[in-house]
Amino acid sequence: METSREVIGYQLGESALGTLLVATSVSGICAILLGDDGGELVRDLHRRFPRARFVPGAVAEEYFDRVARAIASPGARLDLPLDLRGTDFDLQVWRALQEIPAGSVQTYGEIAARLGAPGAARQVGEACAANSLAVVVPCHRVVRADGSLAGYRWGAKRKLALLRMEGARLGTPDLFH
């Protein structure tokens, strides 16, 4: 007898930052993915939730539209239920990121220190890379110790665009090393 598999609905469309995939579970939004290729975003979704059954087009239009608006205004709060999945440390990092005000940046080391793990800057970066909720969990607000922009799961150009949309003051003209 086959065990029941989790059902995840998803919707593809366009946003201010390119192709957008929004996915929902019974608990809330479980993925907000950005990119240039819808097929690659769907493959990424399958990699992130390998045991799920997927239903394309099964996200309420209102949810998709609200997420797209949040991406166009990254400082805005998205008042929809979120289904955050990660390790305990990932969840701590993601909560800390959500406390960074729009237009501000913090370093990986500052976040690690705030979590009581001052030597865990690399692990903070790994938690950022594991984040499935682009913009809503604002990994784009994290920079290197020298103020330069480190990589971003959805592309360095998107990270820079998000920070500029928020009016962040970026301290170095050579943002990408």
User: Which segments of the chain does DSSP mark as H helices, in order?
Assistant: 38-48, 61-72, 88-98, 108-114, 121-130, 156-166
Residues 103 and 58 in one domain: no
b/e sequence 99-138, b meaning 16+ C-beta within 10 Å: ebebeebbbbbbbbbebeeeebbebbbebbebbbbbbbbb
Residues 92 and 60 in one domain: no
Res 150 pLDDT > 60? yes
Condensed to tens digits (0 to 9), the pLDDT of residues 32-72 reads: 999 999 999 999 999 999 999 999 999 999 999 999 999 99
E strand or H helix that includes residue 28: strand 28-35
- Inter-CA distances, 143 with 16, 30, 103, 106, 156, Å: 22, 25, 13, 6, 11
Q: What is the CATH number of the domain that holds 54?
A: 3.30.160.70
Residues 62 and 110 in one domain: no
Residues 93 and 60 in one domain: no
Of 155, 144, 148, whose CA–CA distance to 170 is shortest?
Answer: 148
Residues 105 and 152 in one domain: yes
Q: How sure is the predictor about 163, in pLDDT bands with cuts at 50, 70 and 90?
A: very high
- Note the pLDDT of residue 51: 94
User: Does the annotation count 139 as an active-site position?
Assistant: yes
Res 175 pLDDT > 60? no
Residues 92 and 153 in one domain: yes
Residues 68 and 102 in one domain: no
**Structural domain that includes position 19:** 7-72
- Note the pLDDT of residue 173: 46
Residues 112 and 43 in one domain: no
- Where residue 139 falls (left for φ over 0; alpha for ψ -120 to 50; beta otherwise) is alpha
Pick from 72, 96, 126: which residue ends a domain? 72
In a domain, residue 15? The reply is yes
How many distinct structural domains can be found in the chain? 2
Q: How sure is the predictor about 13, in pLDDT bands with cuts at 50, 70 and 90?
A: very high
Catalytic residue among 139, 142, 149, 163: 139
